[in-house]
Every structure is written in C-alpha cells, then in structure tokens.
Amino acid sequence: MADFSGFYKLTVAERQKIIKAHAGLTDAELAALNDMGALKPELADRMVENVIGAIHLPLGLATNFRINGKDMVIPMALEEPSVIAAACRAAKLCLPEGFRAEADEPVMTGQVQLMDVPDLELALRNLDTNRHEILKIAGEYMKPHKRWGGKVLDFHSRALQSEKGAILLVEFDINVSDAMGANMVNTTLEGVAPTLATLSGGKTCLRIITNLAVKRKVRASALWKKGAIGEDVVEGILNGYALARADIYRCATHNKGIMNGIDAVVLATGNDWRAVEAGAHAYASMGEYHPLTRYEKNEKGDLLGSIELPMAVATVGGAVNSSPTAKIALKIAGIKTSQELAMACACVGLANNFAALAALGTVGIQAGHMKLHAKNVAVIAGAQTPEEIDAVAAELAEKKNFGSDFAKEILDRIRQAKK
C-alpha cells in the first residue's frame, strides 16, 4: 500500500507518480490522466483536492431551440447517446412557435437551526420584534454583492418537533443575483446566527442553504401540433404521462429523463448539477411524488407540454468562472443571466421528456438509442479510427446485434480485409 500521507501537499505530477506505482498503471494510462484538455493541471489543482487528472465528457449542441422568440443553440455535456439528438428533434417539432419560458427572481433560502430554546413562543416573539435589527445585521454580510443586485429580502421563523427535541428554524430569503448563491447565503447565515442565538436563548446548530429552491422556480411550455407529430404520438405521450402520474416507479424514470437534458446543460455551463437534482426531486416529492412535466390535449387535438421545477443555476462564480469551457458554453448560447440559463435548462428538459415519451409510446426507445450507442460499442471493441468506428457501428445497427464480441468480429474482419 502506497503512503498517502501528505498527498495533498504534492504536485499533480508527484501524485501521479505515486498512484502509478500503487495501481500498476501503464504509461498509456498515465498519459490519459495527463490529458486534461482545456483544464490546466495547475487550475484543476486549485479547484478540488488531491488532483491526479481530469475526466472528459463530450460537449455537444442542442439545435432548433427558439425560446421566447429567440433562437438559441444550447451546449450539453453528457455521455449518453441519443439525448442531444432527441432534444434537437423535439425542439424542431414545435417550431415555428418554439418554447415559452419564465423564471422567478433568483431568491435562495438559507436555514439557521436553533436548539435548546427555553421558550419557543417567547423566542418567536423576540425574533419578530427585532426583525429590523436582524435584517440589518444580515444585510451587512451581503454588502459585497449589493452592486450585482444581491440582498437579504426577509426572514421567517417556525418551530419544529424532532427526535432531538424542539427546533427553532429561522429561514432567510436572499436574492443572489446571477450566482448559485451557496457561499454568500452560508456566509450571511453564519454571520447573523450569534444574534439569533442571543435573542432566542438557544444554541446555534446548522447554518446552511437549502437546495429546495421553491422561490427560484422556472416554467416552460410548448405546443406540438397534431399535424406535425401525428395523433398516435399525441396519444402515446398522454398514455405515458398518465402512467407516470399513477405509478412512482415509472415516475422516477420519467423525471430522470427530464434531468438527462437539464443535467447536461447544467454540467456544460459549470453549474452544480447535484444541487439541481436534489431540488428537482425534492420538489417532485412535495405532496406525492409527481412528474415535473404535464401534458394535455387542446380542443384541436394538439399536445401542450409544460414543466415547472426549482432551478438554482449561475452565470458567475464558482466553477463557472474557473472552467474555460463553461464560459465558452455560456457565450455560445448567448446567455447572460441566471434566469436565462434556467429557462434554457427547463426547455431542454421538457424537450427530452417529450422525445422519450414519444418514442416509448410508439416504436419503443431502444431502436434509436442503440443505433447511436453502436459507436460506443465499436470503441469498446477496439475500433480506433473514425472509419473503423463508423463501419463497425453501421453493421451492428444493421444486424441489430450490439454485443461487444460481435463488434470485435466485425473489426477483425475489416482489418483483415485491409491487409
């Protein structure tokens, strides 16, 4: 076992030398770790701890998107075949009108937990009586962000019962402008917490943002005309939506399909996809777990689709500023504000959900998915040049046999023919 003490103090090259010996990596495998693309080793080493390399995902573009009358190409980063193609096709099918979208103001909520409060009713009154002082103190910590529109809006308090006893929860609503907001919210909470403890007589515990950003939601909708997609697709989507509403097992996968598109945009733009995922599924669980999209047929038989979910994304701060490709992605999309990015995410999520339901409700999803996946199988089998990959993938799709052993047989045959 290698000695990893002080590993964090080493350079990237020094860490790679240790891990090469520890794991028995080949020179080729070490070279793959060294290929960090646009993310330089010295930058990566300042973003996270114990860096030894970087992983790579394809960065593609979703085309055909018209959002609120504006034509956009939207960058998406992911490894799953057919997601980008599906988004492009769904967006094209609702042209020329395209998507309508709107996003709430970028308001995030932060929570301060107080325990061992001697008198909850008295504490609640004290906090309310001293509202102006509390907001003034919290506002001091938001001053650096004031020029960008960041500010503390208000707070509210409530009492909860838990297995550890009564909890006094104080929640602050904070406009975080074009940032995701975690750092500024958490800094503000930690700054105001001692005052809350004094006024309540309680003990300060957690001081943290919530990812269930219900005051920072985004909504989008689109109309797919029956004449453009066919009545069988309309009914197939409505059938699939009905199942998602009726069954949680289907609903989980329904919502995952939405997040296929959203996560890809979030990742491409350097945002926190984990926070977006947590907020989306928590929101879907309010009441009973439900679909994040909705579908209905109008009087003409056309299909109206819509989506609503929390969307805490940023165009400044964090990895957005650190990642060179994230800034390029935002520039390609022409996105300036967090609200514009949230709307783009929602439209892509709706498009991917429409495309998945359209396939599932008619011909099935595997035909198109596996045709695109065939190139991955070809690479796994050892195909190296674009010509080899395309030739192997074409035969896999033609024979509808996507096994890796069959792909190796095809590749061997192609190479033998060239000799």
Marked catalytic residue, from 173, 272, 388, 395: 272
Marked catalytic residue, from 80, 102, 105, 235: 80
Q: For residues 141 and 188, is the Cβ–Cβ distance under 8 A?
A: yes
Position of tokens 């010996």?
21
CA-to-CA separations, 177 to 186, 215, 229, 256, 314, in angstroms, rounded: 15, 13, 39, 28, 9
Marked catalytic residue, from 281, 369, 371, 373: 369
- ∠ CA 76-150-179, nearest 5°, is 15
From CA 218, how far away is CA 213, in angstroms rounded? 10
- Is 231 among the catalytic positions? no
Q: For residues 204 and 167, is the Cβ–Cβ distance under 8 A?
A: no
CB-based burial, 225-241: b 16+ in 10 Å, e otherwise? ebeebeeebbbbbeebb
* Burial category of 37 from C-beta neighbours within 10 Å (exposed 0-12, middle 13-18, buried 19 and up): exposed
Q: Which amino acid is at 181?
A: G
Marked catalytic residue, from 17, 215, 256, 327: 256
- Is 390 among the catalytic positions? no
- Is 405 among the catalytic positions? no
- Is 256 among the catalytic positions? yes
Q: Which amino acid is at 347?
A: C
Active site residues: 80, 256, 272, 369
